[in-house]
Structure 1
Amino acid sequence: MPASKSLPALVLSASLLAAGVMSATAAAAADGAKVFNLQCRTCHAAKSSVAGPSLNGVAGRRIAGLSDFAYSSALKSKGGSWTDAALDAYLAAPAKFAPGGRMFNAVAAPGDRAAVIAYLKTLK
Structure 2
Amino acid sequence: MSSRSDVPDEVLTRLLVATACHEAEMIIREHRPKNSDPRIGDDTGKILAWLWRLDPDRATNFLTDIVAELRHHNPRAPKPRIKVSEFLKVIDGALPHGFPPAELAALRRKAAIDIPSRLGEDGEKP
**TM-score by shorter chain over 0.5:** no
Higher helix content, 1 or 2? 2
